[in-house]
């Protein structure tokens, strides 16, 4: 499997390749469609039955237990950020594909099938919120809600998926008994501690605030300064206040104001609406809530003094999610059997495995990221670490498809 995994990663990295060595495969784009078609082609050639559900989630089921109506899910996502890395998401899908096809080819008794999954719109780069496909699968969102999400140009996710031929009709017809995902850490803990495998125990909490600062359009030239209701100025004030407050807080926080959308988006018109995407993370979600509330209270009067208003576009609280303790224990045991140095750890970032934990035992495995860099073309996980992660995934799948009870 190791050589197969590296070859698969190299092949998929060609789809949407960027000049800096990364990939750009936004959900519903032509590049996303090409990656999906290649995934389906390879999985089918290796003996899987591929189906696509109503929100584009792809399920490649290898019949390791043909008479069973149960399956172990294993996978991640093939969509990326605009300047994404070549391993983020892809490693989880392709390590599952390599392992499942090898186990299926070798044969042998099993109690459960293996279904390799490509979840739709994990990144949330084109359509928000993120973790869309896996959240529909667990019932958090409806398919209609997901398909109705729109990008900056007003194109819906349903329209984009239909355009590339992946607006499906076939929900998974097997009962999943557990879920498994391999991912690059996207942080520096494993590298800094000299460890090779992370068994994720739980996630940090997060509050995602999307605020629209509202003013009025007017000409940037003749309009008297005192009569302007400049939403861009209000947004800039709020962003500055946000960073200052986060730095002053005593709690351990990761925060960002990473996306801004201005309307009418003309250099000669004072902005009438500016939408800013704020994010606050802490191991305890309640801390994120309290910090966010203080931020909202602080900016209200200052924005009002500029003649502008604030509309809350989204206010999403994601509590920290605990992952399956048995899966953590099995991951540590398998790593030990393989001679790999492993540890239990938290994840700061969101992953499909966290969404799926609401519906079944779910396990998330990390391998190191060089310099902790991610969502960047220069993201790097070394070949030996890729192989180590693939070996852990294969061993866990072999263990779990043979288990009486996967929960």
> pTM above the 0.85 mark?
yes
Structure tokens at 232: 């861009």
- Domains, the chain, with CATH or none: 2-204+320-401 (3.40.630.10), 205-318 (3.30.70.360)
Alpha helices in 46-179 (DSSP H): 90-106, 132-137, 143-147, 157-164
Identify whether the C-beta of residue 90 lies closer than 8 Å to the C-beta of residue 78. yes
In the annotated binding site for Zn(2+), the residues are: 77, 88, 123, 183, 375
Q: Write the CA distances from 57 to 116, 167, 183, 251, 360, integer angstroms.
A: 11, 9, 18, 38, 17
Please report the pLDDT score of residue 47 as a whole number. Answer: 98
Burial of residue 134 (CB within 10 Å: 0-12, 13-18, 19+) is buried
Please give the chain's pLDDT, 407 residues, in tens: 459 999 999 999 999 999 999 999 999 999 999 999 999 999 999 999 999 999 999 999 999 999 999 999 999 999 999 999 999 999 999 999 999 999 999 999 999 999 999 999 999 999 999 999 999 999 999 999 999 999 989 999 999 999 999 999 999 999 999 999 999 999 999 999 999 999 999 999 999 999 999 999 999 999 999 999 999 999 999 999 999 999 999 999 999 999 999 999 999 999 999 999 999 999 999 999 999 999 999 999 999 999 999 999 999 998 899 999 999 999 999 999 999 999 999 999 999 999 999 999 999 999 999 999 999 999 999 999 999 999 999 999 999 999 875 44
Please report the pLDDT score of residue 1 as a whole number. Answer: 46
CA angle 146, 352, 288 (to 5 degrees): 90
d(CA 113, CA 260): 44
Please report the pLDDT score of residue 318 as a whole number. Answer: 84
Give the other-Cβ count within 10 Å of 159's Cβ: 15
Alpha helices in 204-284 (DSSP H): 231-248
Q: Render the burial of 51-90: b for 16+ CB within 10 Å, e for the rest.
A: bbbbbbbbbbbbebbeebebbbbbbbbbbbbebbbbbbbb
Q: If DSSP codes are grouped into helix, strand and coil, which group holds residue 100?
A: helix
φ/ψ region of 112 (left if φ > 0, alpha if ψ in -120 to 50, else beta) reads beta
């Amino acid at each position: 499997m190791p050589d197969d995994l590296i070859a698969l990663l190299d092949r998929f990295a060609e789809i949407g390749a960027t000049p800096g060595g990364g990939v750009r495969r936004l959900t519903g784009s032509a590049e996303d469609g090409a990656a999906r078609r290649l995934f389906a082609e390879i999985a089918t050639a290796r003996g899987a039955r591929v189906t696509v559900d109503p929100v584009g989630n792809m399920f490649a089921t290898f019949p390791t237990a043909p008479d069973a109506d149960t399956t172990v899910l294993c996978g991640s996502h093939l969509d990326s950020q605009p300047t994404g890395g070549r391993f983020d998401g892809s490693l989880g899908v392709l390590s599952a594909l390599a392992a499942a096809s090898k186990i299926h080819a070798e044969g042998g008794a099993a109690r459960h099938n293996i279904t390799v999954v490509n979840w739709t719109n994990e990144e949330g780069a084109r359509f928000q919120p993120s973790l869309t496909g896996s959240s529909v699968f667990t019932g958090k969102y409806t398919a209609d809600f997901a398909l109705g999400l729109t990008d900056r140009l007003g194109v819906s996710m349903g329209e984009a998926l239909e355009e590339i031929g992946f607006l499906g009709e076939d929900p998974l017809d097997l009962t999943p008994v557990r879920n498994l995902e391999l991912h690059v850490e996207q942080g520096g803990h494993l590298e800094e501690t000299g460890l090779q495998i992370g068994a994720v125990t739980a996630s940090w909490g997060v509050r995602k605030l999307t605020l629209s600062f509202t003013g009025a359009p007017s000409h940037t030239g003749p309009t008297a300064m005192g009569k302007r209701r400049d939403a861009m100025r209000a947004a800039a004030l709020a962003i500055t206040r946000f960073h200052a407050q986060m730095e002053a807080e005593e709690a351990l926080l990761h925060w960002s104001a990473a996306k801004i959308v201005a309307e009418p988006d003309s250099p000669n018109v004072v902005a009438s609406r500016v939408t800013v995407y704020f994010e606050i993370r802490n191991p305890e979600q309640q801390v994120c809530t309290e910090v966010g509330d203080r931020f909202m209270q602080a900016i209200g009067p200052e924005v009002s003094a500029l003649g502008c208003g604030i509309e809350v576009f989204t206010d999403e609280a994601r509590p920290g999610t605990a992952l399956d303790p048995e899966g953590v224990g099995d991951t540590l045991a398998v790593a030990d059997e393989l001679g790999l140095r492993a540890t239990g750890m938290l994840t700061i970032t969101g992953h499909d495995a966290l969404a799926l934990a609401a519906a079944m035992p779910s396990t998330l495995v990390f391998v190191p990221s060089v310099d902790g860099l991610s969502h960047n073309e220069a993201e790097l996980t070394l070949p030996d670490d890729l192989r180590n992660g693939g070996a852990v995934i294969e061993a866990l799948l072999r263990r779990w498809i043979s288990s009486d009870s996967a929960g």
